[in-house]
Every structure is written in structure tokens, then in C-alpha cells.
Chains A and B, each alone.
Chain A
Amino acid sequence: MTLTKGRLRSWRPAALSEAAADLRATVNAVVAQQRALTTQFGSRLAADWTGGAARAATAQGARRQGSLAAAVDGLGACAIVLGAAAEALTAAQRTMAAAQRVADSAGLVLHDNGSVSIPPALLATPRGDSYLDHLDKAVQLSTALARRALAEATEADADAARDLGRAAELAARARKMGLDIAAAMAATADGAALRALIEAGLVPDIRLQRIPEAARSDPSVAAQWWLTLSANQRALQIRANPELIGGLDGLPIQARDQANRITLAAELSKARADYARMLALGVNSVAAGQRRTYGSAEYGLPLQALKDKIAMLEAVDKQLAGHPERRLMLLDTDVPGRAAIAIGDVDHADHVAVVVPGLNQDVTHDMGRIVGNADRLNKTMLRISAASGDGPTATIAWLGYRTPDFGNVASDNRAETGAEHLRGDLAGLDAWRATTAGSGQGTPVHLTLVGHSYGSLTSGIAMRDAAPVDDLVIIGSPGVGVNNAAALHGVPAGHVYVGEADGDRVADVAHFGTDPNHEAFGARNFRTDAGSNANGEPTHASHGHSQYFNMHTTAVNNMAQIALGHPERVSYPLPDPPGTPASGGGSW
């Protein structure tokens, strides 16, 4: 069978997921009957029945239970296989849809066999080199995506077919080894059943590879390893190790998102159940609702801790619900938690901006606002890109560190720790894109880091060393930990930009080194007052510390142009007239 675009489109992964769920229900029903038999042949008859008939009946009861256990094991394995196939085929369909989008946007024709052609009409009139380059790039990318989609779907289909056939053998072996899949399936989570299979040593049968040790510390190794896996193997990894895969730098955001959503759902469900159980036990001694200082001595009272955890996880869940374009790139479920939510397709976007927030931000109370900032920046980038053909964009609301509160904002400890996390995530983003580009399956990414307030210090510290960032934007900054932009070795020279809004007092404190807005710092200042964009449309001024990301402001427009790689379209302040005395920061 040769798989085609049309056939792949006709496949329904959702139906596979439903079939997997139906099989899980069947397994649970068989488990219930297995338990009933245990009751009958165990406690009821064995207690006061002896002799030959009793022995014969007990032996037969054991055989009947054994055959049911085999059914449980086999059907459980089928459910796992179908669930994994559903995820792999969904991913393949998404990749094909991306190929189609790329082709459509350039006016190309994506054929059923995955090849791409340029309609003669496109070349009928003479065009410039840049247009031909753009066309060539679109042909290559859509071809690569379409081929990958077909290859992954073909492999997923073959793997699933083979593994369904092996399920019977798997069942026999599982029973022989005393594997209690029934207990795992009773938990209704595929992941639990799969982990049971792993522990029983049956994993090779469903081709789950061990994660290389080096992949845990080197994003490039992780990216290479992920590329070697089939779509089914990837889906199985995500189900078997969601916490690990969700945080593994170097993996595509799509995969991390799937894994983190599994963790989110499982943790939320568990926390709610624990909370209900504790309430039922009458454990209810702590006042609710107040905002807490995490890590303090009072923290840790169980009921409040559970309430905090539920609130934190629900805050993340709320940002994802109803937003199919968002991806959960990072999730740390220990309160106060860490999270990063991507807006747009980070794995394929040409331009990605990472927004790092500052002081007194936590997942529970502030994720919505941080995502809102990233969302507005992305919308502005998309609007500009639609007109100028800069290609797809994405942004990331990165609350991947525990920000300081007013009690410890004077220290750079949180920024140091945050910078370490940030470097890892940036390296991971770059590694996946560079690796896929190197193997002809993708393109490199133009990466911009946007640090706001204390987040600019975190970003600055992260940029002291080599990093894959193309541009750094600093806004409302109390200092970035260095006295000169040249010390930010992670950013190419001339690619550090600073914005300071009128009335932003935080941006003038220069607590962590030279005020980045000062000429001596050596960054390029951009305007945040009222002005106009590259099309001559009016843009608004930002005031104070928190309006940089407002829509239609000069600030957000300038940040979007930087993130799209267009420094020539950024509006800069006019130079001071000759003879004007130097006035420190905010000279414009």
C-alpha cells in the first residue's frame, strides 16, 4: 500500500481513540468479572469445601480466571496500541495540514503523492530574485513536510498493525510473568498500563526505546534521538513518560505539549480527588483564598496546599481551553509551579519570540496576563507578516522560573536560577529546529528574547554566555546584570534593543547594572511614545510599567518588527539637536 495525501486525510484518528476507550471499558468490565470469580472460588467455596470435587473446581476456577487475565492483558495492549496510533496519525495529519498551508500560501500545488509543483502561471510574469527564493523555500518546506507526514503515517499504520497482531502473544507472556495489568488498567490510564508493561520487561515488544542518558542534558542529542523514533514510538514515549518528555529540551513543542497535557490532566484529577477525600475526612482548618508567600514556614498545610495546586493547574488549563493554537511547552506542577505556553506553531514558525515576565508573577494569578502579552505580540507580528510575507510566527509566554516578590526583588538569585532554565529552553528550541533543518525536514528559526522588568535581568544573565538568540529586547528594565550590551555574548552585536515608556519608574532604577536605556550601555533604543508604524498608521504611546504589550502601541509594533527581523522598520528616537546637554536615561 502506498499512502497518499487523500487517503491520509480520510483516516480518522479520533475513531481510533474512541475504539481505545471502548476497549478500556471492556477491559474494566472483564476485570470486574475476574474479581467476581476470585470471590466465588476463593473466599466462598474454598473456606468450607474440601475433597476431590473441591480441588477440581478450584483448579478450573484458576484456569477460568487465567483466561480472563489473558483477555485483559491482550485487550489492554490493543487499547494502548490504538491510542498510540491515534496520536501518531493525528500528528501526521497535522504535519500534512502544515504542508498544505505552506503550499497554499505560496500558490503551489501539493499533489496526492506528496510532491509539490509550481503552477506555470506563477512564473508567467518576470519576478525578482527574492520572490523566487521565497517560492523555492516554500517548495522545499512543503515537500519536506508532506513527505514526513506520509512517512510517519505509513510507519504508524504498519507499527500498529504489527502490534495488534502481537497482542495475543503479549497477553500470553504477560500472564506467564505474573503481570497485573488488570490493576493498572483499573486506574484507567494508558500510561499506567504502559508503565506496567515496561516494568514487566515487555516494552521491546511494542518498541519503546530507552531514553539516552545524554539526551537529558544535551538538547542536540535529545533532538537527534527524537528524529530517529517512528511516530508510534514517539506516541508511546509520550504516554509512558509524560513528565520527562514534557520537560525534555530539544524535543518539538508539539510532543512536549501532548506530554504536558497528560501530566496536567492527571495531576489535576489527582489533586481534586485528594481534596475531596480530605474534605470528606473533615480536614478543613485553613483559611482559604488568601494569596500566600510560597516556601514560607506556614506553607504546607495539606488542604491549603491542595487548593493552591488545584488553582495553579486550573489556571494553566484555562489558558489552553478553547485555544487550539496554544501549546503547553513547559509544566512544573510543584506549587507555585512553572509553565510556558506557546501561541502558534513554534516547531514550524519562521520567527519566534519568547516573552519573559518579571517581579511578583506566578502561574496561578498571572499566567493569563503573561499569555495575553505574548498573544498581542504574536497578533501584531502576524498582522505585519501577512502584509510583508515574513512567514509564520509564534510567541511563548515563558513563566519558566519563580519570579521574586517584593521581599527578595533586590537580589538576583531568582534571575540566576531563571536564566539557567531559560538557557535550557532556548537551546532546546534551537536544537530541534537546527536538527530538523540539518536533516532537510525543517528550517532554522529566527529567535527573539523579550525580557520585561525583572525578566530583563533574567534574560540578560541568560545572555551572558553563548546562546542561540538572534535579537534581545529589553523593556521596563531595572538593569540586566551587565554594564554594556557587548557583554551579552548570547546576542549578536547590534541586536540588543531597549524600550522605556514614559512614566516607567522601574526602568530608571538601574539596580542591576547600567541603565540599559542609557547611551553608555550600547543598545539600540526604540520608541514607545505615540508615532506611526511602517505603513504610516498611527500607533499609541505606552505609559508606566505595564503597557508595552498593548495593541496598536508603538512599543508592541517595534517589538514585532524586531522579532520579524526588520530592524530597519523599527522607529527610533530622533537624535538630539546639536548642543543639547546629555540627560541620562530616557533622552528621548
Chain B
Amino acid sequence: MTKSELIERIADRQEQLSYKDVELSVKLILEHMSKMLASGERIEVRGFGSFSLHYRAPRVGRNPKTGEAVSLEGKFVPHFKPGKEMRERVNDF
């Protein structure tokens, strides 16, 4: 399912909102989640899961083409932990 399919599916279930409203809403939700994560904020959605940042320590990497060593700085990466209901529903097959 892509973002546009998600928008269509939500619009199909919505009586009161136009396709355009749903499209703007989905984009705003994703933008707000990205912005909050990028400012170091956690996201917690009960039954769905939580998003947080994990730290990756500095390390020496290699340029895969030349084999040359490159020092890489520490960084944060987004992490998702599925919630209980998500884990159960996905595993129930």
C-alpha cells in the first residue's frame, strides 16, 4: 500500500471529508511525525507502536569502491517498536 492508496482507503471510509481534506491530513500527519522525531521527540501510539531515536556510535567505515577507511561520526537513526496489538494482529495468520 502506497501513500496515495492509503489516502484513497481512508477517503472511502469517510463520509464527511473530501478526498482533498484526507490527502492534506495524511500529509500533515506524516510531516508532523517526521518533524517531531527530527527534533528528538518520541511518538507513542497505543496498539500501533512507538517511534524513537537510536544512537549509532562513531565508527570507521570503508569506501566500498576503493577500500579506503573513512571515519564516520556518531548519529541518530529512527527506530520503530511495534505495539502489542500490532504484533498480535500481524502474527495471527
A binds B: no
Residues of B whose CB lies within 8 Å of any CB of A are none
